Amino acid sequence: SQKIEQNSEALNIQEGKTATLTCNYTNYSPAYLQWYRQDPGRGPVFLLLIRENEKEKRKERLKVTFDTTLKQSLFHITASQPADSATYLCALGPPGTASKLTFGTGTRLQVTL
C-alpha cells in the first residue's frame, strides 16, 4: 500500500538556522508533490509545488527538492523565524485533473529564539 513518511514528528531549531524536513514515499508514482503549512485548528495552506520532472523549486526563504529515484523530497526553510513554527505537510498527487492529494503525517517545526 502507499506510504508517505515525514522524517520526524517534531523538529526544534534555533532562529536563523535552516530547517530541513524530509518526505519519503513508497508504492507511489506521483506526478507532483506539494508542501503545505498547517497551524493548530486550521486548514492546510499551500506553500510550494514541484513536478516529477523538476529537481528544485524556490520561493523566498523556501526551497524544495524532489528525487523520484530516491522517492524523496526535502523542504528547506532558510533563516528560520519563530513565525515559521507550524506543522508542515507533504502531499502527493497523481496524474489527472481531479487530483486528490495523499498527505503525510506532518512534521511539527518549533523555531526558538
Partner 1 sequence: EPEVTQTPSHQVTQMGQEVILRCVPISNHLYFYWYRQILGQKVEFLVSFYNNEISEKSEIFDDQFSVERPDGSNFTLKIRSTKLEDSAMYFCASKPGTSGAGEQFFGPGTRLTVL
Name the site residues for partner 1 (rule: CB under 8 A): 31-32, 34, 36, 38, 41-46, 49, 51, 89, 91, 93, 95-106
Q: Among all chains, which residue has been given the C-alpha cell 535552516?
A: 18
Q: How far is the CB of 80 from partner 1 (least distance, A)?
A: 23
CA distance 5 to 50: 18
Residue 40 or residue 69: which is nearer to partner 1 going by CB?
40
Q: Which is nearer to partner 1, 80 or 106 (CB)?
A: 106
Report the alpha-carbon distance of residue 30 to residue 93 in Å, rounded: 5
Is the CB of 6 or the CB of 80 nearer to partner 1? 6
Distance CA(18)–CA(3), nearest Å, equals 27
Q: Which residue has the cell 520526524?
A: 8
Q: Which three cell numbers mark 45?
A: 495552506
CB of 96 to partner 1, least distance (A): 5
Q: In whole angstroms, how close is the CB of 88 to partner 1 at the nearest point?
A: 12
Q: Which is nearer to partner 1, 5 or 20 (CB)?
A: 5
Cα–Cα distance for residue pair 100/91, rounded to 1 Å: 9
**Spatial contact of 72 and 24, defined as CB atoms under 8 Å apart:** yes
Beta carbon of residue 16, minimum distance to partner 1 (angstroms, whole number): 29
